[in-house]
Each structure stands twice: as C-alpha cells, then as structure tokens.
Structure 1
Amino acid sequence: MEEASNKRRTREHLQQKYQSGEKIAVLTCYDATFANVLEKAGIDILLVGDSLGNVIQGKPDTLSVSLEDMLYHTTCVARSTHKAFIIADMPFGTFQVSPQETFTHAARLLAAGAQMVKIEGGRHMAETVDFLTNRGIPVCAHIGLTPQSLHQLGGYKLQGKKTEDAQRLREDAMALQEAGTAMLVMEMMPATLAGEITQRLSIPTIGIGAGSICSGQVLVLHDMLGIYPGKPPRFVRNFLQDTNSIHSAVEAYVQAVRSGMFPANEHAF
C-alpha cells in the first residue's frame, strides 16, 4: 500500500496494512540517532523496549529497568522522528499493580511520545487492558516468552510446546483481544501455534521467534545488526554482514519481512 505523507503513522494506518496483508516491520530503538536511521530505512514501528536494560545498560535482564529510563529513551526516539509509529514497553513493576496506577504510568509514556504501550502477560492482564483502552491508551499485549517473567518461567525457554500450554496461549490471545488489545507480540512459540493464533485474531500479531505467519516481525536492533555480544538466539538473523551500512541493513530487514523471506524455517521453532 502507498505510504502516507510525512505524517506520523497511526494505529489505523497499521490496521490498514494488516487488513491488506502487508507485513509490518518492527525494530527496537532507544536513541535519536538510530531512530532517525531506522525511520529513513522504512521501519513501520519503533519499539522502545525494556531490552535497553541488556543492550544499553549492560544488565543481565530487563527487571531493573525503571519507568524513568523508559521515559528518557522514549523522548529521545520521539524527538528525532516524524513518521514511525512508536510503542514503549511498560517496565517491570509499573503494570503489575492496580489498573489506575497502571494508567498513571502509561499516561506518562504517552506524554513522552509513545503512541501505544506494551504490556507482558496473558488473560490476567485483560482487566488492565480494558481499563487502559477505555481511557484512551492503546495497548500492545505480549504473550509466549515474557522476559519480565523469566524467573517464573525458569529462563528463556520455548513456550506452548505442551498441549495445555498451547491452549492457554490461545485463550490468552482471545481474552486480550476481547479486552481491547490493538496488537499482540508473540515470542518464542512454535510457528504452527503462532500461525493458528494469528488466523483466529482480527488484530495484527508481531512475531519474534514465532514463525513467518505472524502479521509482522520484531527483532532487537543490536541483534539484527550482529553487534550484541554472545551467541544470538535461533530466531535472529544478522542483516549487517551482507551490506555496507546500517541503513542498508535495516532496508534489507524491512524488505525481508515484507516479502515473507524472514523469518525462514531455520529461524522458527
């Protein structure tokens, strides 16, 4: 579909992409310089992720990322962009509270420049999602592997392998959609399960380690560029190694997502 002018993309614009069958390309972003590069390369959504705890702050997980951290980085990303849709993660401890307290925290993220907030968790978050969306705050939900719950999950493990776990994820997705979720991230799930959920829902699904049938894909920027130390997860592809610039790498990622070439079978579970 034709891109809108230089106006900031909206939730309705993304829904139109979804309804037309065009894949949605998402990358995490935490600063003004990368935000500008990613927007010019055609990224649809910039996710100001709490993964900044890992790639920016050098922490072993995301649990100690604060709301003030997220506000600062969201402001940086919003300040230097004009078209990309911006989603901000709600950090650990800011939404596992009352819906009213969650609203207060989410409202600050929107004031900092986010157009949507992302919340981890399944059907137990439906009441909070309903509360937020009925008060003007769009929500992206996140199921499957939820990094903020890594201690409860026993580490970074594939979710939904057992029959009962798969059914729970199906029910989570439906409950969240019914509560008003506008978008759903699915992380580290069997591709067949993620595809089934995608086909059942009427909102876009964004996969990360969840196969190619999802409505779009997201990766951590530093993983996609192959610059984060250590062994990359199975679902990551280094797009920088075959190009001569970061801009070209991001363009290649966008093209691969939109054409359905990424993720390939070797990136799925």
Structure 2
Amino acid sequence: MSVHSEIKRVTTNTLKELKTKKEKIVCLTAYDFSMATLVDAAGIEVILVGDSASNVMAGHETTLPITLDQMIYHAQGVIRAVKRALVVVDLPFGSYQGNSEEALRSAIKIMKESGAHAVKMEGGKEIEESIARVLSAGIPVMGHLGLTPQSIYKFGTYTVRAKEDEEAQQLRDNVKLLQDLGCFAVVLEKIPAKLATEVSETLEIPTIGIGAGNGCDGQILVIHDMLGINKDFSPRFLRRYADLATVMNTAFTNYITDVKSGDFPSKKESY
C-alpha cells in the first residue's frame, strides 16, 4: 500500500465537519508545483489557485488581466503537487459575469483541464444565475463577498467594505443567498470583524476570512505576502511569517560573490 493512499483527502464535506467541530480551517494560495508541494505537505486544508497570480506571478496591477487559460496553467501545476488539500481555482474576471452559459463553460474547462476540485466566484445576487448553473453541473462553488477585487474599478478603492448599514445588510442577504444556492463555503474579504463574526455564526457553511477578523471559520492569505517575498504590500490584516525577500537577496548576493571570485564551483562541485 503506497503512502499516498493512506492520506485522507480534504473534501468540501471535511470543511463542514471542521466548522461543526469549531476547528479553524487553514487556507493559502499557491500557483505552481514546487510551492504547492510544500504547502500541501505542511497540512494546509485548502489551496486557492487565486487570480492574485495576476499580481504576484505576472506583475499586473489588478486581478483583471489574467485569462482562463493562464489560470488553468497555474492550476495544473498545483494539482500535480497536491496529495491531500482541497484545491479551489478562481474563475477569472470576464469568464462568468456575462451569462450563465459562459460561466458553466469556463467552470467545466477548469475542472476538465486542470483536475481542480472546486471553483471560486466573486459576487452575490448579480451573478446568482451563473452560480446556480455551475452548481447544477455538479461543480462545487466557493463564494466571495465583501471586497471583491475583480470589481475594483466599480469600487475605485481597496478599502474596507460593508461598513455602512445598507451595504452590511446587502452582504447578509448575499451570504444567505450563496448558502441557499448551494455554495460550500464563502470568502469574506475586508469587512468589519463584528459583521464577519455575526455572519459566520448564522451560516451553516464555513466562512474564510481575509481581513475580516477572528470570527470567521477559517483564514486565507496570499503566500507571497505571508512569506515576505512581496515587500510592497503591507495591509493591516497581513501577518508576515517569514522574511524570504531578505533570505533570497542574501543568497543571490553570496552567489554573485562566489562566481565573481572564482570560488564557485569548487573542485568538489566539478566532475
């Protein structure tokens, strides 16, 4: 019996069980094979192949430019690495908002070509039909409310959402709608902690927070941010667990020194 066959895979059902047990769900992004291998081996429950790849992998200012095929390329590498985690892939901007048929086509393409386990879609009432259509094909959907980066030009800013009563009520309604439609979880991004806690307590499905306080059922961060590879991004909600930018810079400068001085490669490192 191989080692891998003994590993219990995380499913959408596992997440529901964790919420019932009041055990927090741990999520991280990953965009390639090597990084996903490490994340999965560490025991992270959910890996999101986020459209944040547009920012951290491709250098775009927003998440909007990344295409469906590019998302699939990133997802394929992650899926090849993963033995245990639930892999969720973002449906990128423009691949589902227009009409529900396109949403279904996009979701099926991701599932077939990458082997992903679920997709994530940003929005509530305005994309209700698209979510329902994707779910009707048996594809698990994770919702995403609050600050939805694909709508950045509508908001005009990355500030905290749902601070006013009207928007808070809209969020409550949308989160209930996503649960009723059949989403297995919902990401709550940059909303007041009190509202996130209230919503998490009223829902049967798990909430995954990012900048939404400690009352959510789980947390997610972008891997480049939490590892300190990306130094330019320091929002209040981010905790850096490493300073890899400095570690890597030291390695690069040491390598330059060793090559320039003729120290590398040594006799031992030659054939």
- The answer to whether TM tops 0.5 is yes
The question of whether the paired residues in 1 share the 8 Å contact of 2:71 and 2:92 is answered with yes
**1:233 alignment partner, SS class:** coil
CA deviation profile, 1:163-195 (whole Å, cap 9, x unmatched): 111111111111111111111000000000011
CA distance in 2, matches of 1:138, 1:44: 16
CA distance in 2, matches of 1:22, 1:229: 31
Matched, 1:211 2:210: no
Tell me what 1:27 maps to: 28
Tell me what 2:193 maps to: 191
CA distance in 1, matches of 2:193, 2:224: 24
Amino acid at match of 1:226: G
Matched, 1:115 2:117: yes
Q: 1:79 to 1:231 in 2, by over 3 A?
A: closer
Q: Structure 1: which 5+ residue stretches go unaligned?
A: 247-269
The question of whether the paired residues in 1 share the 8 Å contact of 2:225 and 2:233 is answered with no
The question of whether the paired residues in 2 share the 8 Å contact of 1:78 and 1:114 is answered with yes
CA distance in 1, matches of 2:126, 2:21: 31
Tell me what 1:79 maps to: 80
The question of whether the paired residues in 1 share the 8 Å contact of 2:229 and 2:243 is answered with no
The question of whether the paired residues in 2 share the 8 Å contact of 1:127 and 1:179 is answered with no
CA deviation profile, 1:223-243 (whole Å, cap 9, x unmatched): 11111131411100001159x
User: Any residues of structure 2 matched to 1:229-248 within 5 Å, and which?
Assistant: 229-241=231-243
Matched, 1:179 2:181: yes
Tell me what 1:267 maps to: none
Amino acid at match of 1:118: K
CA distance in 1, matches of 2:233, 2:129: 38
Amino acid at match of 2:210: I
**2:26 alignment partner, SS class:** strand
Tell me what 2:9 maps to: 8
Structure having the higher Rg: 2
Report runs of 4+ in structure 1 exceeding 6 Å deviation: none
**1:127 alignment partner, SS class:** helix
Cα distance, 1:97 vs. partner? 2.0
Normalised by the length of structure 1, the TM-score is 0.86
The question of whether the paired residues in 2 share the 8 Å contact of 1:46 and 1:86 is answered with yes
Tell me what 2:126 maps to: 124
Matched, 1:154 2:156: yes
Q: Structure 2: which 5+ residue stretches go unaligned?
A: 249-271
Amino acid at match of 2:212: A
CA distance in 2, matches of 1:12, 1:187: 23
Tell me what 2:95 maps to: 94
Tell me what 1:17 maps to: 18
The question of whether the paired residues in 1 share the 8 Å contact of 2:90 and 2:120 is answered with yes
CA distance in 1, matches of 2:120, 2:151: 15
CA deviation profile, 1:105-150 (whole Å, cap 9, x unmatched): 1011112121110000122222222221121011001000000000
Amino acid at match of 1:163: D
Amino acid at match of 1:170: R
Tell me what 1:36 maps to: 37
Pairs aligned (count): 241
